Chain A
Amino acid sequence: DVKVTQSSRYLVKRTGEKVFLECVQDMDHENMFWYRQDPGLGLRLIYFSYDVKMKEKGDIPEGYSVSREKKERFSLILESASTNQTSMYLCASEGAVEKLFFGSGTQLSVL
């Protein structure tokens, strides 16, 4: 089974802090994604990557950046966290078959 691991289950940060959310997948998948999930809004795509060192903006990239230095790892960075970035963050990977496999999520609270 594909395993997508997000490093933190819960995070509490202060406004203005730099926040790193880490995601690792173990199936050598090319494609990786970061979503945020908010009540009533579903999953919204922040950034995605089709290969190492490649990144593409999703639907809501503002306030975020990403890093993909290794194929298995895709990091989401909040350069200066704000309260409106309080959310559930979900990482996903996708292989040759068009299925997304999700991690368990990181619930981030920005105070």
Chain B
Amino acid sequence: GESVGLHLPTLSVQEGDNSIINCAYSNSASDYFIWYKQESGKGPQFIIDIRSNMDKRQGQRVTVLLNKTVKHLSLQIAATQPGDSAVYFCAENRDGQNFVFGPGTRLSVLP
């Protein structure tokens, strides 16, 4: 079926290390992807997006990589900080359709 999923439900990293959060999607027609961050007790916040005509997009300390061949999306966080602890969602969108969200990965930053 059409779905967006994550390889790992939880991820623990040492403060200062890089984090990589993965996402698989099943619909090759998806052309727009977003990563959201949700801190405890808050709504999801937009982090970064990427369109299917791109392979990579960088923001401040974050990079999103898109591999259309294997339908895989990843979020890389450089120099992970305690404030990065949150649940991270990927979402896919096809033109004219609604977003489909993955279940989320909980990132824990260890001191």
Which residues of A are interface residues toward B (Cβ below 8 A)?
4, 33, 40-43, 45, 48, 58, 90, 98-105
8 contacts between A and B (CB under 8 A): A43-B89, A43-B101, A90-B44, A98-B93, A100-B46, A100-B91, A102-B45, A104-B41
Cβ of B76 to closest chain A Cβ, rounded Å: 20
Instruction: Give the chain A neighbours of B101 by CB distance below 8 A.
Output: 42-43
Separation of A96 and B98 alpha carbons in the complex (Å): 14
Instruction: Give the chain B neighbours of A90 by CB distance below 8 A.
Output: 43-44
Given contacts A48-B98, A100-B34, A103-B43, 15 further A-B contacts (CB under 8 A): A33-B98, A41-B103, A42-B89, A42-B101, A42-B103, A42-B104, A43-B89, A45-B98, A98-B93, A99-B34, A101-B46, A102-B43, A102-B45, A104-B43, A105-B43
Question: Are A40 and B42 touching (Cβ within 8 A)?
Answer: no
Separation of A4 and B42 alpha carbons in the complex (Å): 12
* A-facing residues in B6-35 (Cβ within 8 Å): 9, 32, 34
Separation of A45 and B104 alpha carbons in the complex (Å): 15
Separation of A90 and B34 alpha carbons in the complex (Å): 17
* A-facing residues in B65-111 (Cβ within 8 Å): 89, 91, 93, 98-99, 101-104
Instruction: Give the chain A neighbours of B44 by CB distance below 8 A.
Output: 43, 90, 100, 102
Cβ of B95 to closest chain A Cβ, rounded Å: 9
Instruction: Give the chain A neighbours of B32 by CB distance below 8 A.
Output: 98
Contact mask for chain B residues 38-65; partner A; CB cutoff 8 A; 1 contact, 0 none: 0001111110010000000000000000
Instruction: Give the chain A neighbours of B93 by CB distance below 8 A.
Output: 98
Cβ of A27 to closest chain B Cβ, rounded Å: 13
Question: Are A40 and B103 touching (Cβ within 8 A)?
Answer: yes
Q: Please give me the residue from chain B that is nearest to A9 by CB atom.
A: B41
Separation of A45 and B46 alpha carbons in the complex (Å): 18
Q: Please give me the residue from chain B that is nearest to A35 by CB atom.
A: B101
Instruction: Give the chain B neighbours of A103 by CB distance below 8 A.
Output: 43
Instruction: Give the chain B neighbours of A43 by CB distance below 8 A.
Output: 44, 89, 101
Separation of A98 and B34 alpha carbons in the complex (Å): 10
Q: A40-B103, A42-B103, A43-B89 given as contacts; is B43 within 8 A of A99 (CB)?
A: no
